[in-house]
A = this chain, B = another copy of it.
Amino acid sequence: MGCLDSMRECCDRPKNTNIRISFPAVCFVWQTAMIILFGVFIRYDEESDTHWVEYKKEKNITSDAENDFYFRYPSFQDVHVMIFVGFGFLMTFLQRYSFSGVGFNFLIAAFGIQWALLMQGWFHSLDYTDGKIKIGVESLINADFCVAGCLIAYGAILGKVSPVQLMVLTLFGVTLFAIEEYIILNIIHAKDAGGSMVIHTFGGYYGLSISWVLYRPNLEQSKRLHGSVYHSDVFAMIGTLFLWMFWPSFNSAITDHGDGQHRAAINTYLSLASTVLTTFAISSLFQKTGKVDMVHIQNSTLAGGVAVGTAAEFMLMPYGSLIVGFCCGIISTLGYIFLTPFMERKLKIQDTCGIHNLHAMPGVIGGIVGAITAAAASKEVYGTEGLINTFDFEGHFERSPTVQGGYQAAGLCVAIVFAIGGGIFVGCILKLPIWGDVADEHCFDDEFYWEVPEEEESLHPVLEYNNHMMINKRTDMVESNFSEPQT
């Protein structure tokens, strides 16, 4: 009891945002740890090693075009753009938090991908003959995917945490992700090409749980900065569009060569197109005089990509993709209008970017769509070989599609459990008063972690001129006020 009291007391101390020791220390220690662990564990795989020349002869591979690099590298680069420019710029929408939005996104993604290569490597690509993890282009994509989960979580707590907290969030987030992913993909053997469950459901609820633990009762004191300005909204559109455009690459990046990648790209392209229209429609319908809200356009237009993630490689059919997008545009936009305020007021969950509407809900929908599509698969539609090929019904995973549907649903549950459990655990750690986060009245302000350029006066010569004249004038007036008595 005394312990709990002292803990509470400790948490109630005035906030100190000086992270001059803790932040560099965390960066240096963790990066050094990465170097050591990489030295011990990580090597090139046979396609990126100089032994490729000999490997080719051995395996009778006639062309370098068969190197996985050429099948996946263009998609990898698109995914990379989504992670750094897409997520980064999407979070620049706040008027005075653009530096942190894009900058800390950069930081934690760069850290996360290294840790992810290790964690995912241990689970997925450990070579038991020599105890090394062998990496290639697919590992890089998977690392980017893994980090996406943490970046999604960042969206919920944007503006309310310190960079040190974000590093901690990422360390645990990547760890949890790798375990959860291993259970869902390898043990349960669910399919999840675009990560509706593994990435978006997990990342969404992970972030929301953390935000719930870190609830800030007096956040309205920062209200003045909790909005956008004209140009910050345009910056955010850069993020939106790069996410939107490259989502077909995201969902197809690690699917099977050939028809798998091809089909996943088409399905995602269609689902996203459909989402745009229903997002505009709902946004206009619920605003006075039919005006559209930028927040919805920046976020809800992407929900279709999330929701089609699991089923993108299945025979969802073009119209099926359109239907998924159609529904998600509606649900996600309604979420922004009704659910986010409700969650803040009633559930004490403050969700800065509305990740519940963009990632969590559409992710769950995606998991369900995936389960249904899998359960409905048949040899008539897929072809005998196609069915085996698409679902990897081989070895001790020889299942009927119906059973696979059940396992898909199980996978979704695992993602949610890991996300909420992990989020609450990590949230409690982040609540410790040692991480240098800001007080409630200083949220959404770059000022505390960045050297911010002080003035923009020179941009407004006319205004500046007026102001200078007025200041002079004022001084004159003050003087004249003083001298007035004499007259």
A450→B292 contact, CB < 8 A: yes
Contacts known (A102-B234, A270-B114, A322-B35); A71 close to B64, Cβ less than 8 A: yes
Interface string of A32-70 (1 = CB under 8 A from B): 101110110011100111111110100000011111111
Q: How many residues of A contact B (CB 8 A)?
A: 162
| Min C-beta distance of A369 to chain B, whole Å | 15
Cβ of A1 under 8 Å from chain B: no
User: Which residues from B are CB-within-8-Å of A245?
Assistant: 77, 80-81, 84-85
Give the residues in chain B near A67, CB-CB below 8 Å.
257-259, 262
With an 8 A cutoff between CB atoms, is A237 at the interface? yes
Chain B residues with CB below 8 A from A451, complex form: 287, 291-294
Q: Is the CB of B246 within 8 A of A77?
A: yes
Given known pairs A99-B234, A102-B237, the reply for A273 and B84 (CB within 8 Å) is no
- Is A402 part of the contact surface with B, judged by Cβ < 8 Å? no
**Shortest Cβ distance from A407 into chain B, in angstroms?**
19
Query: Assuming A281-B28, A284-B19, A469-B474, is B77 touching A43 (CB within 8 A)?
Result: no
Point out the residues of chain B lying under 8 angstroms from A266, CB to CB.
44, 48, 135-137, 140
Residues of B contacting A403 in the complex (Cβ-Cβ under 8 angstroms): none
Partner of A318, one of B28, B42, B238: B42
Question: Shortest Cβ distance from A21 into chain B, in angstroms?
Answer: 7
Q: Please determine whether B269 and A140 come into contact, CB atoms closer than 8 angstroms.
A: yes
Which segment, of A90-98, A349-357, A358-366, A415-423, faces chain B? A90-98
Which of A152-160, A176-184, A192-200, A225-233 forms contacts with chain B?
A225-233
CA distance A188 to B358 in the complex (A): 48
Flag whether A122 is at the interface (Cβ < 8 A): no
Question: With an 8 A cutoff between CB atoms, is A414 at the interface?
Answer: no
Contact across chains for A114 and B322 when beta carbons are under 8 A apart = yes
**CB nearest neighbor in B for A111:** B277
Q: Is the interface of A mostly helix, strand, loop or mixed?
A: helix
CB distance from A22 to the nearest CB of B (A): 8
* A463–B469 CB distance below 8 A: no
For residue A228, which residue of chain B has the nearest CB? B453
Given contacts A84-B245, A273-B113, A301-B106, contact A95 B54 (CB under 8 A): no
Q: A479 CB to closest chain B CB, in angstroms? A: 12
Whether A291 pairs with B450 at a CB distance below 8 angstroms is yes
Instruction: Give the segment of A6-14, A208-216, A339-347, A378-386 that binds chain B.
Output: A378-386
Contact in complex: A53, B20 (CB < 8 Å)? no
Interface 9-residue window, one of A393-401, A425-433, A454-462: A454-462
Known: A315-B50, A387-B50. Contact between A70 and B73, CB under 8 A? Answer: no
Instruction: List A residues 307-331 near B (Cβ within 8 Å).
Output: 315, 317-319, 322-323, 326
8 A-B residue pairs with Cβ-Cβ distance under 8 Å, sorted by A, are: A17-B289, A20-B289, A27-B280, A49-B263, A85-B238, A110-B272, A230-B456, A457-B462
Given contacts A67-B258, A137-B265, A230-B456, 6 further A-B pairs with CB under 8 A are A20-B284, A27-B284, A53-B383, A84-B245, A137-B266, A292-B449
